Amino acid sequence: MKKIIPILTAILLATLLSCNQRTVKKELVPEFRFEEYTIAQLQEGYANGDFTITDVVQAYLDRIQAIDDNGPMLNAIIETNPDALAIAAQLDLELKEGKKRGPMHGVPVLLKDNIDTHDQMATTAGSRALAGSHPLQDSYIAMKLREAGAVIIGKANLSEWANFRGNLSSSGWSGVGGQTKNPYVLDRNPCGSSSGSGVAVSANLTMIAIGTETNGSIVCPSTANGIVGIKPTVGLLSRSGIVPISFTQDTPGPMGRTVSDAATALGAMTGIDPADSKTAVSEGKYLTDYTPFLKEGGLKGKRLGWFTSARGTHFKVDTLMQHAVNYLRSQGAEVIEIDNIYDREVGSLSFQVMLYEFKDGLNKYFASLGENAPVKSVEELIEFNKNDSVELRYYDQELLIEAQKKGDLTSKEYIDALEKMNRLAREEGIDKVMKEHNLDAFIAPTGSPAWKTDLVNGDSYTVSSSSPAAVAGYPNITVPMGFVDGLPVGISFFGRAWSEPLLLEIAYSYEQGTKFRKAPQFIPKLPFEPAD
């Protein structure tokens, strides 16, 4: 009888979840013709004349209004692009004339609202201090997406200042956009800082979103929202025109529902940007098409290091990860357990580097806005927040204050911290461990299931594996790995600098063999939890 009861409980729970999902979807969420569509399906439809780019963009805009603004009110999007339909009409005309700009032609894309666009949309980083701020030119990433034919349909909400402002912050909250909700269970957190980007992709409010990451800000909202996220090698994609935290660690990256879609978007954004010196290092290393590496059977013969530092923290995540390891081994991969990648001092060194670079980068960004910049320095930003009725309501600005106290980038403390951090994280960290064990990549659970959003106590992180790749500036790809009580959890594949082709092959093979992605159903709360 002891074995039967848990089985019956599991069946009852699954039934409750299923019933709840169906009820919520029927009442709040209208049918959507392009739900779970891929870029390949979209391009096929355009080629066959099944629908136009204008049809698709209008459908996504309607979907945003129905779900993000009304319905479950996800609060994922700060602003939609008033020019989106005009752009779509122009792209339709080009297709009729036999012209296709590139692999993203007619693909709806959302940008995290710390990525500049020179159009009718503002770029705010979620801060009321930048409300109505209009950059003087497109970011390099926005320019590349437009050249490839993408339709930028709006700006996604985010953790304000990419979650580098103060203590007890709630991921997905910004002074401009409010609190973003997780589309699987609405009282759960979407993680961040690319919160709206992850939610919008998962909820089919866009086909692709572009997030940014300094440490975890692409991969965490990707795992929490059941999607694929690529955090590329720093320098593969330009950061010019992106509100910064760290010159050393920042990078934009694509977020999609499939590895194939994310890989397509990645290739469309690469290139050497004179305005970002980091991209010069990508010369001879970047590709404009990563899709040839999307091959099934790519796990056979691979040596993977299972980064086990978080094992024992969350037994439900441990169970999912063990299933993933068993699958990887069944496909011919060899998995070796690795309990440590680098010295613990790396974390504190990274924090010091970020404080220095945050002050320097923000001041340079404000200067890029010209004489009409709403604020012109970190010092002015701090004063603005003190006098604003919303900004400091839920959490403080201690990180801004600490950054303001730092000197410039010629400071010995900064130079020494940067050198030591890079050495410990790279040559004496990931590179050393991978060489010693002859590894192709590392694997680890990306995070834990989404916690309940709490504006009083802030975030409740338990499991995270983003730091090794983030601090080293190396690539990391997360893919759905399964569910815990209806909440998605992802697996990360990370490794050496410029190893995106190899990681994509591994991630794609895992994705195609498991296919854990399931669209969210906008459940108000888990049915077995007590009523409010």
**Residue 441 structure tokens:** 């990549």
**How far, in Å, CA of 377 to CA of 357, rounded?**
14
Contact 32, 59 (CB under 8 A): yes
**How far, in Å, CA of 151 to CA of 206, rounded?**
10
* Alpha helix segments (H runs only) across 109-211: 140-147, 160-163, 195-202
Catalytic residue, candidates 127, 169, 171, 217? 217
Contacts for 223 with CB less than 8 Å, ≥ 6 apart: 191, 229, 446, 447, 478, 480, 488, 489, 490
Contacts for 348 with CB less than 8 Å, ≥ 6 apart: none
Amino acid letter for position 93: L
Distance, CA of 411 to chain centre = 32
Residues in the chain: 532
Q: Distances from the Cα of 333 to the Cαs of 150, 470, 481, in angstroms?
A: 37, 25, 17
* Alpha helix segments (H runs only) across 211-284: 219-224, 259-269
Give the HSE-up count for residue 128: Cα atoms under 13 Å, Cβ half-sphere: 17
DSSP 130: G
Q: Any idea what the Cα angle at residue 110 is, between residues 141 and 457, rounded to 5°?
A: 105
Catalytic residue, candidates 193, 238, 448, 492? 193
Crossing angle of helices 345-368 and 378-387, rounded to 10° = 90
| 364 catalytic residue (yes or no) | no
Tokens 């002891």 found at: 2
Three-class secondary structure of residue 461 per DSSP: coil
| 460 catalytic residue (yes or no) | no
**How far, in Å, CA of 528 to CA of 407, rounded?**
52
Catalytic residue, candidates 112, 181, 278, 359? 112
**How far, in Å, CA of 399 to CA of 455, rounded?**
18
| 100 catalytic residue (yes or no) | no
Contact 157, 196 (CB under 8 A): yes
* DSSP E strand boundaries for 34-177: 77-80, 108-112, 151-156, 173-174
**Residue 339 structure tokens:** 């309990």
Contacts for 120 with CB less than 8 Å, ≥ 6 apart: 81, 82, 83
Q: Which residues are catalytic?
A: 112, 193, 217
